[in-house]
């Protein structure tokens, strides 16, 4: 699979390779994989990995696909890298409303409906809320009452909602515990969706303003089995934990970006409130 291009090819690709170099280096470093480890995984020499990342060699189409697969790069990023290398994009990107995705929409609807009255929502990689079940609508109205004033058809971005002066973090009673994990999650997403980074860092500054350096403190040594988020609400204290579902081996960019967050009551009191209030 190892393929070198002669140095004469360097000038032919000079207009695109710098971008490809940056893409591949960023993707590798975001996974905390060394050049040596990546070369061993792909069965090529570390020298060749170094040459490609420095622009001294051009990968073949086969090698580049394997390279991106080993890095578990998002499908959209794989298309970008393929184009940067002068190859045609590999993956399509359908609209969620397209007929071809009808079975997948049905699957999402079933997940959301089955999880009621507990909250569940569909989000894309940019934290846009695409679908919510009844439980999620109740949870959003409970934690962020100002959202009731938004037009019914206005898109909701969860990151923007958290940045709002009355965002859901205002009612968190264990923000000091939740903030490090939440920031790590957001920054990990921003490494894949760079346009998120300014808002993620704005959120980090907001958290640090409230908590000071404690926002960057490591998690406590004795942690619960799963991180629980606690809120003070008009219904009394509420506690939740989450699980996420994604499509297995998606071959469409849209489907690859989707995740379903399933929210569960972390205690009996929260469960009773949800079962009583979600109608």
Question: Residues of 176-194 as b/e, b for ≥16 C-beta within 10 angstroms?
Answer: bbbbbebbeebeebbbbbe
H/E stretch holding 23: helix 17-30
With beta carbons less than 8 A apart as the criterion, state whether 256 and 74 touch.
Answer: yes
CATH number of 99-277: 3.30.450
Domain boundaries, the chain: 7-84, 99-277
CA distance 83 to 189: 23
Q: What is the pTM of this model?
A: 0.78
With beta carbons less than 8 A apart as the criterion, state whether 227 and 178 touch.
Answer: yes
Least confident of 62-76, 185-199, 257-271: 185-199
Residue 33's pLDDT is what? 94
Task: For 237-264, write each residue's pLDDT tens digit.
Answer: 999 999 999 999 899 999 999 999 999 9
Report the pLDDT averaged over residues 31-47.
Answer: 94
With a CB cutoff of 8 Å and minimum separation 6, the contacts of 188 are: none
CATH class for the domain made up of 7-84: mainly alpha
Better-scored residue on pLDDT, 30 or 231: 231
Residue 148's pLDDT is what? 82
Better-scored residue on pLDDT, 41 or 9: 41
As beta bridge partners, residue 189 has none
Task: For 200-222, write each residue's pLDDT tens digit.
Answer: 999 999 998 888 865 556 555 55
């Amino acid at each position: 699979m190892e393929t070198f291009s002669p140095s004469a090819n360097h000038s032919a690709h000079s207009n695109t390779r710098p971008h490809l170099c940056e893409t591949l280096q960023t993707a590798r470093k975001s996974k905390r994989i060394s050049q040596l480890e990546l070369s061993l995984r792909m069965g090529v020499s570390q020298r060749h990995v170094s040459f490609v990342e420095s622009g001294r060699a051009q990968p073949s189409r086969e090698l580049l696909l394997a390279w991106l697969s080993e890095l578990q790069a998002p499908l959209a990023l794989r298309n970008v890298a393929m184009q940067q290398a002068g190859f045609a994009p590999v993956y399509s990107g359908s609209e969620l409303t397209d007929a071809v995705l009808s079975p997948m929409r049905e699957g999402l609807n079933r997940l959301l409906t089955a999880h009621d009255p507990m909250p569940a929502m569909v989000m894309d990689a940019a934290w846009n809320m695409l679908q919510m079940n009844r439980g999620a609508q109740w949870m959003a109205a409970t934690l962020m009452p100002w959202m009731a004033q938004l037009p019914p058809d206005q898109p909701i971005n969860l990151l923007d909602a958290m940045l709002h002066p009355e965002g859901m973090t205002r009612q968190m009673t264990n923000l000091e515990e939740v903030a490090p994990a939440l920031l790590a999650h957001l920054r990990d997403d921003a490494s894949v969706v760079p346009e998120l980074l300014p808002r993620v860092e704005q959120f980090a500054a907001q958290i640090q303003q409230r908590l000071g350096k404690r926002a960057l403190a490591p998690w406590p040594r004795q942690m619960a089995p799963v991180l629980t988020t606690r809120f003070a609400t008009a219904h009394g204290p509420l506690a939740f934990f989450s699980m996420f579902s994604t499509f297995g081996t998606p071959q469409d960019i849209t489907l690859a970006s989707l995740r379903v967050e399933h929210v569960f009551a972390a205690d009996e009191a929260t469960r009773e409130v949800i079962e009583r209030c979600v109608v």
